[in-house]
Structure 1
Amino acid sequence: MNISHIEAFCRVAELGSVSEAARQLECNRTSLSMAIKALEKELEIDLFNRTGNQLTLSEAGKAIYKDCENLIATYSRVKQTCRQVSSDFNAEVWIARDDSLPDNFWQNLAHKLNNKYPATSFNIVLASTGDLANLVDTKQVDYAFGVDYERVDDPNLIYQPLGKIRMMSICKKGHRLSQMRRVSDSDLRNAMQVSMAYLNEKDNPELQPFSLKYIGFSSFDYMLNTILIEDAWGVLPEPLIRHLLRDEQVAVIKHTYGLTQEDFCMFMASGTSEHPGMTWLSDKLSDFLFDF
């Protein structure tokens, strides 16, 4: 059984389109169709129902889809293990992070990481919380770190919780919401909100705006700046706003979900052998969250 045929089947099944799957896999559409037909011939069964240009999974396709995804993940793990045994490590590592933790903390970690592992080049990029898992899944980065709002059962990804992070619904001191003894859903819906915007096409209900009027940003820091200068509220991580809470520049909204907890995670692809630098980085992040 050819692993490339299985990958072709899984991507077309996931996307529902041969053209889109060919684009993502960077291959010819005809070659992709031939790969699927070869797999169907080998298994002696149709994996898709074909109606015009529409493709939907057949009952057989549905039955084997999960196993095929697991096969791809296992194949990746075997390849990575072989690279490890032969000492063929990447000299370059790409890391995505959100800005739920202070920038100066990340800058300090980045310098220490670089000095501790001089043989590896580290690229650290800022990304929206909602895009972290997708960036790893699509292999745009090797690892990602940030708030995990909605963990899903995905054989292609590993979610490693590093600690809990408190998320707070806040507004600027003096905002009418800060002066209310009890804030209702209706009060929030009718107040302007700053929310998290992301490019990942998969819907994440936890990141959908709650208010009728809102403005979205890809970073918590932009959200915070807007809350401080506009008549708006939003949900932000405690490490980013603790100093403002102490100075009473912002206030926690007295709403049922004014305070919640989420996991802060490391995301990586299934089958990836964890780079020792990432083990070190994970430990430092866990220590920070524990002490916080």
Structure 2
Amino acid sequence: MPLNMTLIQIEELLETCHRGSIAAAARALGKSRGAVSMSLSALEDQLGVTLFQRRGNRLAPTPLALELLDDCQRLSDLARAIEARCHRHLEGEEALLRIARDDALPEAFWRDLVAEMSATFPALSLGFGLSPAAELATTLAEGAVDLGLGVMDEEIHVAGSERLVLGDVDMLMVVSPKHPLARLGRVTQRDLREHPFIAQSWYGEGGLRQARLDVRQRIGVSHFELMRDMASDGIGWALVPAPLARERLEDGRLTLLAHPEAVQPQAFVALRSRDFRDGRITNWLLERLRGYLARHGRLAGRPLMD
């Protein structure tokens, strides 16, 4: 038997069953009662079954019609999903976005951003991975992600990728107010060398690596939040992004070292493969990041030292 039923007829069947009358269904669909009635009668003729019992002006779905409702709803939903997917394709909207990022920006910001993305782009499949900035380039080079986001110096580069600077983040030399370095009116490089430096570590060639600095003792951890927390606990001094350190500087759990390079602006970068076809969602995401960095990336009122 050839398949002659249409999606329009399925919508009319669903509306009539849900609303209890052809007249109500017609109003909801913006059609005349006669047009919907004729279309449903044609559907019954095409399928060779009775879908409605008509008793005068009253209409009731048959048991068969009720059995078909779930399948009809699935067909309707699928048709709408296909139409929406085609529309998103024409609008340049990505179906999947895989992102690796560091934790230079607060986790609360990322949670709010993901919630907003999910509400704005409900069909998006989104993957977020967290890793130190030095590992982002490797992740991107391996094709595991579409975007790498984080605080990166110019040495971090991936062949075949595009580097897009979204804004600056102040990296701050911070320490607990109870730490010996906090009592010095001027901190020198020699002073720094004599105290433990809480450095970021990552996996690279040859195993676990750490940020290079001329100090006697380094304590390597994977993420900026751990570095900040350990500095707050008085374990050593650290270079921490301003968005993560700001609250603790304000409430006194951290203090900025009296060092000429206590505030070091560094680029917050998006690395993306040239093969990646970014679209509406990627552009939306990058604009949100630019806005956040413009408002919160730099340390307001930062001291300047000679």
TM-score norm. by structure 2 comes to 0.63
Q: Tell me, in whole angstroms, the C-alpha distance in 2 between the residues paired with 1:280 and 1:114.
A: 12
The one-letter code of the counterpart of 1:220 is: F
Contact 1:155 1:270 in 2 (8 A): no
Q: Tell me, in whole angstroms, the C-alpha distance in 2 between the residues paired with 1:248 and 1:126.
A: 28
Per the alignment, residue 6 of structure 1 pairs with none
How far is 1:151 from its partner? 4.1
> Which ranges of structure 2 fall in alignment gaps of 5 or more residues?
1-87, 297-306
Per the alignment, residue 75 of structure 2 pairs with none
Per the alignment, residue 111 of structure 2 pairs with 107
How far is 1:114 from its partner? 1.7
Q: Does 1:119 align with 2:120?
A: no
Which of structures 1 and 2 has the larger relative contact order (alpha carbons within 8 angstroms, sep 6+)? 1
The one-letter code of the counterpart of 1:123 is: G
Q: Tell me, in whole angstroms, the C-alpha distance in 2 between the residues paired with 1:268 and 1:280.
A: 15
Contact 2:93 2:280 in 1 (8 A): no
Q: Tell me, in whole angstroms, the C-alpha distance in 2 between the residues paired with 1:160 and 1:116.
A: 24
Cα 1:257–1:111 change in 2 (3 A) is same
Identity %, equivalent residues:
25
Q: How does 1:62-211 map to 2 (within 5 A)?
A: 91-151=95-155, 154-201=158-205, 207-211=211-215
* Greater shift in the superposed pair: 174-183 or 145-154: 145-154
How far is 1:202 from its partner? 9.2
TM-score norm. by structure 1 comes to 0.65
The one-letter code of the counterpart of 1:125 is: G
Q: Tell me, in whole angstroms, the C-alpha distance in 2 between the residues paired with 1:144 and 1:223.
A: 21
Cα 1:162–1:221 change in 2 (3 A) is same
Aligned residues: 208
Secondary structure at 1:199 match in 2: strand
How far is 1:289 from its partner? 1.0
Cα 1:151–1:113 change in 2 (3 A) is farther
- Root-mean-square deviation (CA, aligned residues, Å) is 2.6
Contact 2:137 2:158 in 1 (8 A): no
Contact 2:174 2:239 in 1 (8 A): yes
Contact 1:170 1:250 in 2 (8 A): yes
Partner deviation per Cα, 1:5-40 (whole Å, 9 max, x = no partner)? xxxxxxxxxxxxxxxxxxxxxxxxxxxxxxxxxxxx
The one-letter code of the counterpart of 1:260 is: Q
How far is 1:218 from its partner? 1.1
Rg larger for: 2
How far is 1:91 from its partner? 3.2
Q: Tell me, in whole angstroms, the C-alpha distance in 2 between the residues paired with 1:91 and 1:274.
A: 11
Per the alignment, residue 280 of structure 1 pairs with 284
